[in-house]
Amino acid sequence: MVEIFYKDSGKMVTSEEIKSLEELGLDDVMWIDLSSPTGEEKRAVEDFLDTSLQSRLQAEEIESSSRYSESEVSIFANTNFLIPGPDSYSMEAVSFILSEGVLVTIRNVSLRSFNDIQRKVLTHYKMYPTGYHIMVGILENRIDLDADMIEIMSKEIAQFSKRVSLGEDVSEKFLLDINQLQENTMLVRENIVDKQRMISAILKSDKFPRDVYAKLNVLIKDVNSLIDHTNFSFERLEFLQNTVLGLINLDQNKIMKLFTFVSLLFMPATVIASLFGMNVQLPMIGGMSDFYVICILMLSMIAVIFIYFRKKRML
């Protein structure tokens, strides 16, 4: 699918026909958005811009030279966009190509950032006079969404912490939920760091219009603050996980302590019962009263051990 944004009679209009490029010039087109493009659509855009588009494998490479590069007439940038799911997050690679002031974006899924910017370009096109401004607008919108996701995760972490403070029973599912939050936090941080690298590379470039650098400087500050926030969230999750594991260990220690106490409590009685149960001649054997004497002796030993543990505050 392709959507072409171009100027016509002082207005911004769109076309979903790739053949429209044959009737347009570079000065008319501002943005070509390719969503899961076909080979024919990619070749038509390459012919229009006289440049090569990046493949999905190139967009997913992590080397710095693959994430951002420049030629004499073109800029190639790749970054990941985070997609939140019901339980976990996923990454979607997005490619940006800027040539002769025309922005080309390549993606394989629908993204909210693109939908928002498309509406803004159509209604307030004077705010986005070139493809460079559209690209910065997409990054700005994306970072705002990332900040919202970090805020949501912070609230989830606070809820987990509150549940632990209220003494809620922790279980395996509780630990797995915390682990999933840690995974999501790491993905968000990785996503934010990727934006930091990209914006830093753009700030070093001299191809972008001078009026966008003020926004880029604000964006890099926002990104740095988001990285600090994700680091704090991850540390908070680690502390919460350690607290939960500590509570689980305390419960297990109580159980082991109880079993140990019961074993020690009945050990003297077991010795006495074993002693008088031997098939040999023993004192105090010869009448019914001997049974009661032995029972009293066993109970006395149990009471002595119980009192000793209580005085030592081991119970």
Predicted confidence (pLDDT) per residue in 134-161, tens digit:
888 989 888 888 888 888 888 888 888 8
- Overall average pLDDT of the 119-146 stretch: 87
Domain harbouring 238, CATH code: 3.30.460.20
Co-location of 153 and 36 in the same domain: yes
Sorting pLDDT into bands at 50, 70 and 90, what band is 60?
low
pLDDT value for 65: 55
Name the band, by pLDDT with cuts 50, 70 and 90, for residue 116: confident
Indicate whether 207 and 91 sit together in one domain.
Answer: yes
Q: What is the pLDDT of residue 184?
A: 83
Instruction: Give the predicted TM-score (pTM) of the model.
Output: 0.73
φ/ψ (deg, to 5) at 118: -60, -40
What is the pLDDT confidence band of residue 58, given thresholds at 50, 70 and 90?
low
Class of residue 204 by CB neighbours under 10 A (exposed 0-12, middle 13-18, buried 19+): exposed
Helix, strand or coil for residue 257? helix
Domain boundary pick from 210, 226, 248: 248
Averaged pLDDT for residues 41-50: 83
What is the total count of domains within the chain?
A: 2
**Residue among 273, 20, 280, 7 at smallest CA distance from 129:** 7
Residues 85 and 119 in one domain: yes
Selected residue with higher pLDDT from 73 and 279: 73
User: Same domain for 263 and 154?
Assistant: no
| Full domain range(s) for residue 292 | 255-311
Residue 204 shares a structural domain with residue 272:
no
Rg (CA), the chain: 35
Residue of higher predicted confidence among 182 and 309 = 182
pLDDT higher at 81 or 278: 81
Q: Which of 172-176, 220-224, 241-245 has the highest mean pLDDT?
A: 220-224
pLDDT digits (tens, 9 = 90+) for 182-208: 888 888 888 888 888 888 888 888 888
Distance CA 68, CA 215 (A): 19
Q: Quote the Cα angle for 95-100-101, to 5°.
A: 70
Whether 6 and 86 share a structural domain: yes
- The answer to whether residue 281 scores a pLDDT higher than 70 is no
Residue 177 shares a structural domain with residue 280:
no
Do 201 and 281 fall into the same domain?
Answer: no
Q: State whether 184 and 224 are in the same domain.
A: yes
Q: Are residues 260 and 208 in the same domain?
A: no
| Residue with the two structure tokens 């105090």 | 284
Mean pLDDT check: name the lowest of 33-42, 59-68, 267-276: 59-68
- Same domain? For 194 and 77 the reply is yes
**Residue that is last in its domain, among 202, 227, 248:** 248
H/E run at residue 235: helix 213-276
Q: Which of 220, 248, 276 is the last residue of a domain?
A: 248
Q: What is the mean pLDDT of residues 278-293?
A: 60
Q: Same domain, yes or no, for 236 and 103?
A: yes
What integer best gives the mean pLDDT of the chain? 80
Q: Report the pLDDT averaged over residues 294-303.
A: 75
Angstrom distance (rounded) from CA 215 to CA 202: 12
